[in-house]
Amino acid sequence: MAEVNNWQLGRTMQYPYPENRPRRQIAWVFDTNKCIACQTCTIACKSTWTWGSGQEYMLWNNVETKPFGFFPVGWDVELMNVLGPAKWTGGKLESQTIFEGLPAGERVKGWLPAEEDWASPNIGEDEPVGVAQQGSYIPSMPHNEMWFSYLARICNHCTYPGCVAACPRQAIYKRPEDGIVLVDQSRCRGYQECAQGCPYKKVMFNNNTRTSEKCIACFPKIEQGLQPQCVTSCIGRIRIAGFISPPGQVNPQNPIDYLVKVKKVALPLYPQAGTEPNVYYIPPMHAGRDYLHQMFGPGSDEAIKTYQNTKNDPELLGLMMLFGSTERIMHRFRVEGETAIGMDENGAELVRVPVREPSWVRTYFDEVRGAYNHNIT
């Protein structure tokens, strides 16, 4: 085992291979507060990549309701069983990752879902925590006591992938040019060690081809400077994809750096697993706080505070308005007065959007038409 730096844990950790970061790392930010679970992203991904034989139950992108929805069934409950409660001191993880404290000969703490666990992708949809009393209505419900939230999930293209660590044939690799994690189908022998080793259960086994398959981050699009299908199809404009700077480096003009490192409003999912995942989430502000600490680590309270102050923060607000505004990868952004501008790698303008969308409040009674108006949006 090598000793590698995991900035999300605030410490070094053990990993089967030495630290070997890609030249640049693709990363995503998802704003969970804006997701409506329409599953457009799921279908955009499925109809692009997994429409073939043996891929019937394969959803490289899925959206589940937390805390009772899962795909596959119980994936995060199993992860908690394997890891135990995460112990953080400040920003440092004191407990062990999936790569640490292993019996001799083992490389990753994991488990393999049963085949039927993949058969109910929408299980638990819209099931809330808590019980609404008869006659209660939304403003009277106890805040953070009765809730559910949506979690959109793809492969995290981790810096220290559990799937790579677990594969006995080195059939999974991380591309040096962009950090995308891929399965080499010609080397895979279908041992499913990767599916067992991925804490997020984002490697899936194709029973027809007898090989493992996974999200490929739409690499043909990334190579052309375009964002993946799940991002550009998103109805709620909750997603942005770009490149994150290496640990210790921050470019405040880079949208991903700004959200993850400057504002710290977007956090990795279950960082305690130790894979340094590269999908970052703005936590759902109405979910139970203990649950959020478990899911996103100790920064979740501050992230929510920052998010709730977005309306008073023109730069953050401007960047939030740039989500879903262009198919191209935005490398930089700036806010000028009431306009947010997204730019490419060379600083050329890609898109500009108003920071505040205009709104009109209609009069309650329209005297010309003799009709009552309702302002419902």
Q: Which of 37, 79, 259, 329 binds ligand SF4 (CB under 6 A)?
A: 37
Q: Which of 86, 180, 181, 340 binds ligand SF4 (CB under 6 A)?
A: 181
CB of 304 to ligand SF4, least distance (A): 19
Q: Does 162 bind ligand SF4 (CB under 6 A)?
A: yes
Q: Which of 79, 163, 343, 350 binds ligand SF4 (CB under 6 A)?
A: 163
Q: Return the range that interacts with ligand SF4 (CB under 6 A); candidates 12-20, 36-44, 73-81, 264-272.
A: 36-44
Q: Does 283 bind ligand SF4 (CB under 6 A)?
A: no
- Among residues 33 and 300, whose Cβ is nearest to ligand SF4? 33
Q: How far is CA 300 from the centre of its chain?
A: 14
Contact 143, 29 (CB under 8 A): no
CB of 40 to ligand SF4, least distance (A): 4
CB of 364 to ligand SF4, least distance (A): 32
CB of 235 to ligand SF4, least distance (A): 5
Angle at CA of residue 148, ends 144 and 152, nearest 5°: 125
Q: Which of 4, 9, 26, 41 binds ligand SF4 (CB under 6 A)?
A: 41
The residues, any chain, with a CB within 8 Å of residue 36's CB and separated by 6 or more, are 150, 235, 236
- Among residues 238 and 256, whose Cβ is nearest to ligand SF4? 238
- Among residues 64 and 257, whose Cβ is nearest to ligand SF4? 64
- Among residues 117 and 343, whose Cβ is nearest to ligand SF4? 117
Q: Does 171 bind ligand SF4 (CB under 6 A)?
A: no
State the Cα–Cα distance between residues 240 and 252, nearest whole angstrom. 16
Q: Does 214 bind ligand SF4 (CB under 6 A)?
A: yes
- Hey, which residues between 140 and 159 contact ligand SF4 (CB under 6 A)? 152, 155-158
CB of 362 to ligand SF4, least distance (A): 28
CB of 241 to ligand SF4, least distance (A): 12
- Among residues 163 and 329, whose Cβ is nearest to ligand SF4? 163
State the Cα–Cα distance between residues 2 and 324, nearest whole angstrom. 39
What is the contact mask toward ligand SF4 in residues 224 to 243, using x (rule: CB under 6 A)? ----------xxx-x-----
Q: Return the range that interacts with ligand SF4 (CB under 6 A); candidates 1-9, 32-40, 124-132, 185-193.
A: 32-40
Q: Does 77 bind ligand SF4 (CB under 6 A)?
A: no
Output the 3-class SS for the chain: CEEEEEHHHCEEEEECCCCCCCCCEEEEEEEHHHCCCCCHHHHHHHHHHCCCCCCCCCCCCEEEEECCCCCCCCHHHHHHHHHCCCCEECCEECCCCCCCCCCCCCCCCCCCCCHHHHCCCCCCCCCCECCCCCCCCHHHCCCCCCECEEEEECCCCCCCCHHHHHCCCCCEEECCCCCCEEECCCCCCCCCHHHHHCCCCCEEEECCCCEEEECCCCHHHHCCCECCHHHHCCCCCCEEEEEECCCCCCCCCCHHHHHHHHCCCCEECCHHHCCCCCEEEECCCCCCHHHHHHHHCCCHHHHHHHHHCHHHCHHHHHHHHHCCCCCECCCEEEEECCEEEEECCCCCEEEEEECCCCCCCCCCEECCCCEECCCCC
CB of 332 to ligand SF4, least distance (A): 24
CB of 25 to ligand SF4, least distance (A): 12
- Among residues 214 and 261, whose Cβ is nearest to ligand SF4? 214
State the Cα–Cα distance between residues 145 and 79, nearest whole angstrom. 24
**Residues making contact with ligand SF4 (CB under 6 A):** 35-41, 63, 152, 155-158, 161-163, 181, 198, 200, 202-203, 214, 234-236, 238, 275
